Structures are given as structure tokens and as C-alpha cells.
Amino acid sequence: MDRTRSGQTAVVSVIGIGSTRYGTLQTSFAELIIEAAVQALDDAGLRPEDIDALYLGNFAGDQFIGQNHLASYAASAIGLQGVPATRVEGACASGSLAIREAAFAIRSGFYKRVLVVGAEKMSTLPTAGVTSMLAQASNKELEVEIGLTFPALFALIAQRHMHRYGTTREQMAAVAVKNHDNALLNPNAHMHKKISMEEVCSCTSMVAEPLNRYDCSLISDGASAMVLCCPQLAADYRNDVVDIIASGQASGPFEIFANDDLTSFSATRLAAASAYEMARIAPGDVDVAEVHDCFTIAEIVATEDLGFFQPGEGGAAAIEGRTRLGGQLPVNTSGGLKAKGHPIGSTGVGQGVEVVTQLRGQAGGRQVPGAAIGLTHNLGGSGGTCAVHIYQRR
């Protein structure tokens, strides 16, 4: 497919980005959202009074910090006065759904400039508590109560992928090693720690076989933000506009047993097909991608479902370095959920921030040279929700 940029109609444009560091932070939820929001506003050269609405992506603030009604709370904290504030939730895809709702609102003509913030404060609970809370994104009665927490769900997926395609322990380890390497180049990443293939493969801290602790994403605090505006106005705010040229969203079976095939997420395939069609590009046109690596196997599956590699070839692609910086298609240059961190509601917005940073050419040591088209892939639950966005440098 031709890669020309002419004739593209942007859905919405990104004129500001901001992000806190991800990690186990002393910062409060309010401080996190303010920091990310102020950065994004500053980056756009706007003040709070220039903003027409706020969208907040957040998964479970009511349980993590005992505070609900968080969009209005955030609007007050940030100093947005009077403007509509709406929280959007779609499990781990909450951030991307917030971006999509903001895009709809702008395209509908109701707003011109919208602030999107994704945020989650998770370190308030011990790990077991977080695991229980995340498990609420799967079916309580039919999955959680028989022990299917998320590590267990993705362990089933990994087992099946290994059985069907011969995916190996080493291939999954390659994802973890790469994402840790990338995170070393990202000052905002949660984990700055180089790991080796041997460490990952020989780790005996099993979480859910075959996934050990190196296969699992991090429990992080963090907030990321974007200022979106209607494409016609974007050039008034900055020279290096990045457009969102496609937004795809789909649902998949809510329960894992309702999937025909455990090695692929139908929601990813549907959302990606919709996004590629809207952007009029093919998977091979993508220069840089942030995908939902909640577990190492999830990145392998995502790179297959997104059409970057054939089904069953994602593992080989990872271990051959095709998704590394300098490879055919650098994936999770930020460090991904695995090493950048995974503050649930923030993740989708953070993925967008990374892609915009890449398309602006501001990614420093992790820059993908000449990146013009970027993709984000954000998954909720065990595939119940997926959102795919495609970004393009103007």
C-alpha cells in the first residue's frame, strides 16, 4: 500500500504531551494528574482556561485511593473551571478509550481543545491486593473465583501459543530483555535495570507457569496527558503537529473460555483492521509501535494480531531482534508495560505520548530514525476490550 501522506484526513491532532515518571512514587494521585496535565498544557502553550473539556482514563481509583467521581476531582485539581469532565473506563485500555472519546467529542464539533489525562495510583495496595483488583477486569463468577487471575489467564495463552506454534521460553525472554533495554533509554520508565536472557530463563520465581516474574508487567503509579485539538486549528499551536489518523476499538469475548482461539485476540484484530482501513495504511507502513505487553507473551500475540508478523512468528521476530531499536519495526521503545510500567488508566495515554515523542523526533537515545507513522495497541482484560490508534507526523 502506498505510504503517501496526502489525502489523509486526521481524526484529531495532538498539540501537547506530558507525563510523570512511572514507578512506585510518593506522589499523590492529585499531584500525578497535575504534573502530567501541566506538562501537556505547557507543551501546547495553553493555559487551563483554553481547554474546553477533560477526559480522564482511570480504572479503579475508587478502590486504589478511595476516591471516585475522579474526572470532576481532576478538573478541580488541575484548575479547569466549569468545563465538562468525564471519566472513561475500559480496564487496562481506559487511557486509549479516553483519547477516543475526546476525539469523538472534537469531531462532533462540541469542543476545540481537549485535555486527556490517564492516571492510576496503584502502590497504595500490596501486590496481592492489586492482583485482586485487576482480576475484576475478568469475570468474577466464572474466572476469578476459580483462580483465574491475570497471570493465570495469560499463562494459559502462553501455554497454548507454545503448544501450537512452538513458541519458546527464550522467545518470551527476548521481549523482556528488549523492553528493559529500551527502558534504560527512557528517563520516565519505572524500571531502569538491564536483564539478561539467562536471568529471565533461569528465574525460579514462577508466577503462573510458564510466566515468571520477568514475564510480568509492573505495578506502577503514574499519569500521562495529551492536549488534542481539531486538525484545522492544530497548526496555530505548533509546527510539529502529530495527527491521530485512525482510531479503532473493538470488544472480544469477556471470558477467556469464550474465545475460539487462545493464541489471538479477536478484539485486537477487529480494532486493528478498522484502524488500518481508516488510516489507509498497511501494517508494514508502521515505523514504531507501542503494544500492550502486560506479559511477554502478550507482546508476541499483539505483534501477530496487528499484522506485523504472521501468526506464530511473533516469538521468532522477538528473538531475532526484529522488534528491537534498529530492527524492522521497533516495538515498545518506551520500555512498554513491562519496564516503563503499567499504571492502568495511564497506559494508553502514555503509549500515545511515546509515539508522539518518536514522531516529533524527540526520543533521544531510543529515537527511531525518520519515524513518520506510529501505532498504539491497548488491551483491556483478557481481550474484552481493545483500542488501536495510528499517529502520523504532519
State the catalytic residues. 92, 342
Q: Residue 27: CA atoms inside 13 Å, Cβ hemisphere, count? A: 21
Question: Helix (H, G, I), strand (E, B), or coil: what is residue 194?
Answer: coil
Range in contact with a second copy (rule: CB under 8 A) among 63-71, 170-178, 198-206, 300-308: 63-71
User: Are 343 and 57 within 8 A, CB to CB?
Assistant: no
Q: Which three cell numbers stand for residue 135?
A: 482480576
In angstroms, give the least distance from the CB of 152 to a second copy: 16
In angstroms, give the least distance from the CB of 65 to a second copy: 7
Cis preceding linkage at 231, omega within 30: no
Q: Which is nearer to a second copy, 84 or 312 (by Cβ)?
A: 84
Q: x/- binding map, residues 103-142, to a second copy, per CB under 8 A?
A: xxx-xxxx----------------------x--xxxxx--
In angstroms, give the least distance from the CB of 357 to a second copy: 26
Exactly one of 87, 169, 324, 366 binds a second copy (CB under 8 A); which one? 87
In angstroms, give the least distance from the CB of 101 to a second copy: 6
Count residues binding a second copy (CB under 8 A): 62
Exactly one of 123, 357, 385, 392 binds a second copy (CB under 8 A); which one? 385
Calculate the alpha carbon distances from 336 to 4, 190, 231, 294 in Å: 29, 10, 28, 8
Exactly one of 79, 84, 311, 361 binds a second copy (CB under 8 A); which one? 84
In angstroms, give the least distance from the CB of 73 to a second copy: 5
Instruction: Answer left, alpha or beta for residue 220, where phi above 0 means left and psi between -120 and 50 means alpha.
Output: beta
Q: Which is nearer to a second copy, 86 or 328 (by Cβ)?
A: 86
In angstroms, give the least distance from the CB of 12 to a second copy: 10
Q: Which three cell numbers stand for residue 220?
A: 506502577
User: Are 112 and 229 within 8 A, CB to CB?
Assistant: yes
Helix boundaries (H) for 287-343: 296-305, 314-319, 336-339
Exactly one of 4, 26, 66, 204 binds a second copy (CB under 8 A); which one? 66
Range in contact with a second copy (rule: CB under 8 A) among 78-86, 204-212, 311-319, 349-357: 78-86
User: Are 41 and 48 within 8 A, CB to CB?
Assistant: yes
245 vs 312: CA distance, rounded Å: 29
Range in contact with a second copy (rule: CB under 8 A) among 32-40, 72-80, 120-128, 199-207: 72-80
147 vs 143: CA distance, rounded Å: 7
Of 55, 335, 360, the C-alpha closest to 186 is 335
Task: Kindly state whether residue 312 participates in binding a second copy, applying the rule CB under 8 A.
Answer: no
Q: x/- binding map, residues 261-300, to a second copy, per CB under 8 A?
A: -----xx--x------------------------------
**Going edge to edge, which strands form the sheet with 222-229?**
53-57, 113-120, 222-229, 12-19, 242-251, 385-393, 373-380, 288-290
Q: Which is nearer to a second copy, 50 or 170 (by Cβ)?
A: 50
Calculate the alpha carbon distances from 29 to 73, 85, 153, 259, 293 in Å: 10, 17, 29, 36, 24
Residues facing 120 on adjacent strands = 222
> Residues in the site for a second copy, rule: CB under 8 A?
53-54, 59-60, 62-63, 65-73, 75-77, 80-91, 97, 100-101, 103-105, 107-110, 133, 136-140, 247, 249-255, 258, 266-267, 270, 380-381, 384-385
